[in-house]
Chain A
Amino acid sequence: MNHMKQLTITSDAPGAPLLLLGNEAIARGAIEAGVTVLSSYPGTPSSEIGQAVIDAAKDLPHMYVEWSANEKLGFEVAFSASMTGVRTMTTMKHVGLNVAHDPVMTACNMGVKGGLVVVVADDPHMHSSQNEQDSRYVALQGYLPVFEPATGQEAKDMMADAFMFSEEWGQMVMFRPVTRLSHARSRVILGPIERPEREAVFDKDSTRWVCQPSNSRRHRVEMLTRHARIKEAADSFKYNRLDLRPGAKLGIIASGLGWAYLEDAVRWLGIADQVSILKLGMTVPIPDKLVLELLEATPEVLVVEDLEPIIENQVKVVAQNHKIAKTIHGKNVVPVNGELSTRRVMEALAQVLSVEMPVDFRSLDAVGDEAAPLLPLRPPALCSGCPHRASLYAEGQAARKYKREFKKEVAARCGDIGCYGLGFFAPLSSDDTQICMSASLGAAQGIAQATGGPTIAHIGDSTFFHSGLSSLANAVFNNANVTLLILDNAITAQTGFQEDPATGRTASGSPSPVIKPEDVARAMQVKFVEVVDPFEVDTTIDTIGRALRSEGPAVVVCRQACQVLKQRELKEEGKRFVPCEIDREACNDCRVCIKRLGCPAILIEAEGVVIDSGQCTGCMVCAAVCPKDAIKSVGSR
């Protein structure tokens, strides 16, 4: 029992079992492979990988780790560090790959020196993402090998092997978990940790690392040759496994969690003797010979994979090249949208085999449909005392006043990616658009230029430094009639409090300069730049109002700490927030506080509106909106 407690992700304890999150298993694999550099921008469902490696680096002095300003930087740092011969990695979510796409598409031509693994976590069903894209399309485009783990154990083992593979072939590996694997929790048997003794040396081979066309034409040929060799090697790749059953009625090719759900489905249906299964650990490129063997041995084939028909289309090419006219099922029976499940795989199987369902899914659905409307709504809400609530409320009030004064609406309020995205929901209803990281300012400019404006954008500090700097330069350059609120809490809160350029501290805890958004805005020649504390509600409304009336682009920095972090700080000092309370005499139960702010600390009980002192952070924003002046700080008693 006690030894279990002491084991951590950095323990050099080969053979010991540990309960790990999928993302932690991936991090452990990298640590076992002796990864030396990690650079990453957080994004759900990938964030815990970078966090686990960063935490581990405290025990592993050979490592350099950083939270990068964005995924492109994260990739560039990892890729160029690999040029020095050490093992490196970067992690991101699928949409982060769009940001890193530019350097990835040239780096894939150049190849790598030290092993480089690019972890891209896809998010089928969009648990916490704006779209459902399949990152493997980028791998196909760049001729990158893709590894897809099916279990936590495999995630750890395969990740460690990915560095070796990358080095052996001189090409980066794309490692692709999906949300349910990243957030899976399972028993993982640890392996030995490799302690790298390499010295990082950059050899100045300008024919290799310079993408002048004269070099790049050669790089591309080399890259195609490399890919062809990897494809040949795929047949003996240890995570590709063919299990042929004599007389099988169906051949099935599956990868990642598709394989795990398939295993659950086959066992439950009791059809193990009816199917031959090719489990793919590498899905780009596929192993032609193994696929051919399955195609020849079975009357028809089904491909099970999350999201797009990446394997399926490659299998169809193999069949066509070998003039095999058998039916290859895939996205005709396995949905392309949403995430896979055991049920979905069973239903796909039922369309191509005669199987009997062990439970009546329709009657379960019927009960589920009956139960769903009975559930009280629990929409995700900004935390009690969140300064974003104050900022977005003030923004809405300022827009309202603008309309009253000028008889014309603020044309649009454009939102962005971060906790403040929850402002979209009532009662704040702050967002007319949300597109991608830092698109608030781009969208506000487009709408302002088309309509004459004004428009409002709001963005957090991490997202602003991620990709908003050039957006602000563009607004100044083209004199856009926009007001930008920068919601500066000096941390990347949504993904678990990662440091960013506004924090004043690196990922490993050493001090770094605080870059203040207002200094950036002034340097970029924005004429109207003011800083407010959003908890000073009236001042904030007034300042945003003046920004809206000013000529050209205006910046209002709303600066206040994340109250979750503030609470942790207070706790460490043995202190607590001083909450607010309702003056029962003064309160007329109008509920304006609830209707305007939707703070989770304000409740309705039998006696009327009450403030939950356990949740209240004492921000006093509700006191500012109360028309009866009925909300007071407990500290003022």
Chain B
Amino acid sequence: MPTTAVEELNIILAGVGGQGVILMSDLLGNSALADGLNIQGSEVLGMAQRGGSVFSNIRLGDGAVGPLTPQGKCDILVAVEPSEALRYVKELAPSALVILNTTEVRPYTVATGESAYPAFDVILATVRKVTKQIIPLDATQIAKEAGNALAANTAMLGALFGSGRLPIKVETMKELIKSRVPPKAVEANLKAFDMGYAAVAESLNA
């Protein structure tokens, strides 16, 4: 798979505590580093332990200077939790690609009735007000099929690479997964990555 050189590519990873968003960010950043790209980015740390929303953004290419994706300039939003896409919809560029995991993580406030969880159609309709390029996939189901329910984050990474918009080699990413994931989970994670990749690549070709 050839990689495309980019002047600037802004990616936002969104999810909730426990979904491994920071690991995704670490893998993405280090694979870009290994391929010699300039990387700027930042994370909101500290909420991972406490079930809050988790945000990371990675900016690739020599055009990126600051640590935050400028509002209106996010090229790809990866929502590992579907409702979290709503939090970043105002950051999207008009041509942005949005990759959505369809498996919900409902906070306890939904259980207590303090808040409501939006219907998936409502999420889609809201995101569509900014961009039509939306790819939903059940990364959590993919991860289970790949043999490790915790690998939804690697499935989403595969989906991100499947978009064909990253200037990073797939091989670089896979090597990194092998070195960073616990040995017994490597196979399932690589499988989840490939399945996520294929799901998006097919959806774009369809």
Q: Chain A interface (Cβ within 8 Å of chain B)?
A: 1-2, 4-5, 17-19, 22, 44, 127-128, 151-152, 180-181, 183-187, 257, 260-261, 263-265, 267-268, 341-343, 358-361, 364-365, 367-368, 370-372, 374-383, 422, 564, 591, 594-595, 598, 600, 602-604
Contacts and interface: CB of A to CB of B under 8 A. Distances in A.
B70 A381 contact: no
A367 B41 contact: no
Contact of A264 (B37, B56, B65, B179): B65
B37 to A, nearest CB: 8
Contacts of B72: 343, 358-361, 364
B183 interface: no
A17 B30 CA distance: 10
**B53, B56, B115 pick with most chain A CB within 10 angstroms:** B115
Pairs A-B, 7 closest by C-beta atoms: A368-B90, A359-B72, A342-B70, A184-B67, A604-B111, A260-B66, A371-B86
B205 interface: no
A371 B90 contact: yes
Given A184-B40, A383-B49, A603 B111 contact: yes
Nearest to B54: A378
A364 B94 CA distance: 10
A186 B67 contact: yes
B106 interface: yes
Contacts of A598: 108, 112
A374 B126 contact: yes
B90 A187 contact: no
B107 A378 contact: yes
Given A183-B44, A594-B111, A600-B108, A378 B53 contact: yes
Contacts of A360: 72
A1 B36 CA distance: 11
B114 interface: yes
Contact of B70 (A128, A343, A365): A343
**Interface of chain B, helix or strand or loop or mixed?**
mixed
A594 B108 CA distance: 9
Given A151-B40, A367-B126, A376 B110 contact: yes
Given A185-B25, A263-B66, A602-B108, A379 B52 contact: yes
A365 B90 contact: yes
B179 A376 contact: no
B107 A376 contact: yes
B68 interface: yes
Given A376-B118, A595-B112, A185 B63 contact: no
Interface in B137-152: none
B126 A185 contact: no
B47 A376 contact: no
A185 B42 contact: yes
B39 A380 contact: no
Given A181-B67, A374-B126, 6 more contacts: A1-B179, A4-B33, A185-B25, A365-B90, A372-B86, A376-B107
B70 A264 contact: yes
Given A367-B129, A603-B108, A380 B52 contact: yes
Contacts of B110: 376
B9 interface: no
Contacts of B186: none
Contacts of A18: 33
B67 to A, nearest CB: 4
B89 A377 contact: no
Nearest to B56: A185
B45 interface: yes
Contacts of A187: 33, 37-39
B114 A377 contact: yes
Interface string B41-77: 1111111011111001010000111111011110000
B33 A185 contact: no
Given A186-B67, A264-B66, A378 B51 contact: yes
B91 to A, nearest CB: 8
B83 interface: yes
A342 B66 contact: yes
B122 interface: yes
Contacts of B198: none
Contact of A19 (B29, B63, B179): B29
Contacts of B42: 22, 180, 183-185
B46 A44 contact: yes
Contacts of B175: 1
B172 interface: yes
A186 B46 contact: no
A359 B67 contact: no
A343 B41 contact: no
Contacts of A268: 70, 73
Nearest to B90: A368
Given A341-B70, A370-B126, A383 B40 contact: no
